[in-house]
Amino acid sequence: MSDDGTNIPGQGGRLVAAEYVLGVLDAAERQSAQQRMARNQAFADEVAFWEERLGALADAVEPITPPARAWTRIAGSLRMRDGAAPRESLWQSLAFWRSFAIGSAALAAASIGALTFIEITPLPRAPLLATLDSTSGQPSFVAAVNAGGTSLLVVPASLLAPDQRAFELWLIPAGEAPHSLGLIEPGQPVRIDVPRELVARITTDAALAVSIEPPGGSPTGQPTGPVIASGKLASL
Amino acid sequence: MGVEANRSRLVATLARVAGGDRAALKTVYQDTSAKLFGVCVRILNDKSEAEDVLQEVYLTVWRKAPSFDPARASPITWLVAIARNRSIDRLRAVAGGRRMEPIETAGEVRDPAPAAVDLVQAAQQSSRLGACLEQLESRQSIAIRSAFLDGNTYEELAERMGVPLGTMKSWIRRGLLKLRDCLER
């Protein structure tokens, strides 16, 4: 090619590093550059050179304060990765009661659905309930565990836009990595059978969370996408 | 706080993040999220996508903090690079949202385009890079700045500046080679 400067001897690799940092490569070329960085130190050094030098161009970008919920989401994801950290009890949470006081019809309907679900089962142990607050602090799902801990009903409490990505539900026992409970629907209640080995772990020490995953669910068995809602299980 | 004090503080806080200190990550977030969110919004042209990416950015910072080397990179540049890479990867993965408004080249500008305003600010704030960019043809330097700030591909830049793809590749590649010579001096 004579039009693009790549015919200059010895400059091909350098140019790709610069083009990667500049951001002009397409998806496949970017992926190949990222793989090359991982195995070729000279190439990685060249990328670092350009990042350091061109980085000053970002001075021209106007800062924009992100919404407060952005940090809540990040903190929630960290908790998920490291296992559930102790949280304020749901029943002491002002935000929880306020959400009822505000009278979100959707939440009320979801809660009634969840309570009905709980009461039709016998009571060998106390049933559990969790509201999964979205990052904006609004409840987005209500989850009810039946008294035996063998089955779970997840009811959307607010409308989420249809999304081709999957919503995956996670159980996070205290101090443990998340366990997948399967995929849920943003637009309708879903009943989930709890895997036998997890039944004993569904306790008030555990939390539930929903993350966004590629279609079909997380490819790794651990959350890979953003956490959109989370909440601690509490005894009724 | 001066630039150097800010930098030292950020380096120290990133070291605490590397040690697994979550409070330190929150401090980094408080000090840098407006800048990084601005970078993400600029590239993605969509605040809600940018918010998703911002979450990925700070989780990446949490994971990668142990590999941050203050001898090699300035902390804010390191953070900006993560924000840009995450944003561009996302932009390539989704359809739409790209900045496609035409870019005016300096000689023809009657009503300065935002890119031209950015240009002046960037040049003032980063003198070495600014001086090296000054040595390029103006259309080359405009193409390079737009590529960096908006995350456009060669094809998109060619369309925005109304030139053939080969011409755009040539402008940018030759511009980058000249820039490298100048920056190394």
CB contacts of A24 in chain B (<8 Å) are 147, 152-154, 157, 172
Identify whether residues A29 and A133 lie together within a single domain.
no
Task: Give A164→chain B minimum CA distance, Å.
Answer: 12
Query: How many domains is chain A built from?
Result: 2
Identify whether residues A165 and A127 lie together within a single domain.
yes
Mean pLDDT, rounded, for A77-104: 48
- Residue indicated by tokens 């540049």: B77
A132 vs A206: CA distance, rounded Å: 13
Residue pair B86/B41 in contact by the 8 Å Cβ criterion:
no
- Core vs surface per residue A3-21: b (16+ CB within 10 A) or e: ebbeeeeebeebbbbbbbb
Identify whether residues A54 and A170 lie together within a single domain.
no
Which one is predicted more confidently, A164 or A46? A46
Identify whether residues A179 and A208 lie together within a single domain.
yes
* Interchain CB distance below 8 Å, B172 and A21: no
Task: Give A51→chain B minimum CA distance, Å.
Answer: 7
Give pLDDT, residue A100.
40
A211 vs A227: CA distance, rounded Å: 4
At residue A34's C-alpha, the angle toward residues A28 and A35, to 5°, is 90
Alpha helices in A87-168 (DSSP H): 94-102, 105-119
For residue A83, pLDDT beyond 60: no
Which one is predicted more confidently, B100 or B144? B144
Identify whether residues A143 and A177 lie together within a single domain.
yes
CB contacts of A23 in chain B (<8 Å) are 43, 84, 88, 147-148, 151-152
Architecture of domain B110-184: Orthogonal Bundle (1.10)
For residue A47, what are the domain limits? 12-60
Mean pLDDT, rounded, for B88-103: 80
Please state the pTM of the whole predicted model: 0.60
CA atoms within 13 A on the CB side of A115: 7
Identify whether residues A125 and A29 lie together within a single domain.
no
Specify if A217 maps to a domain.
Answer: yes
Domain ranges of chain B: 3-93, 110-184
Highest mean pLDDT among A17-26, A76-85, A86-95: A17-26
Which one-letter amino acid corresponds to residue A96? F
B140 vs A54: CA distance, rounded Å: 14
* Interchain CB distance below 8 Å, B77 and A75: no
CA atoms within 13 A on the CB side of A215: 3
Identify whether residues A23 and A126 lie together within a single domain.
no
* Interchain CB distance below 8 Å, A30 and B88: yes
Q: What's the complex ipTM?
A: 0.87
Specify if A2 maps to a domain.
Answer: no
* Secondary structure letter of residue A132 according to DSSP: E
* Interchain CB distance below 8 Å, B126 and A57: yes
* Interchain CB distance below 8 Å, B55 and A70: yes
Identify whether residues A78 and A27 lie together within a single domain.
no
Specify if A186 maps to a domain.
Answer: yes
**CB within 8 A of B162, min separation 6: which ones?**
B102
Identify whether residues A32 and A118 lie together within a single domain.
no
- Residue indicated by tokens 């989420």: A160
* Secondary structure letter of residue A7 according to DSSP: T
For residue A120, pLDDT beyond 70: no
CA closest to B84 among chain A residues = A23
Residue to mutate among B32, B55, B60, B168, with most A CBs inside 10 A, is B55
Residues A18-40 have pLDDT tens digits of 999 999 999 999 999 999 998 99
Specify if A182 maps to a domain.
Answer: yes
A232 vs A131: CA distance, rounded Å: 7
Identify whether residues A156 and A215 lie together within a single domain.
yes
- From 3.30.70.141, 3.30.70.20, 1.10.1740.10, 2.40.50.360, which CATH number describes the B3-93 domain? 1.10.1740.10
CB contacts of A9 in chain B (<8 Å) are none
For residue A214, pLDDT beyond 90: no
Give pLDDT, residue B97.
60
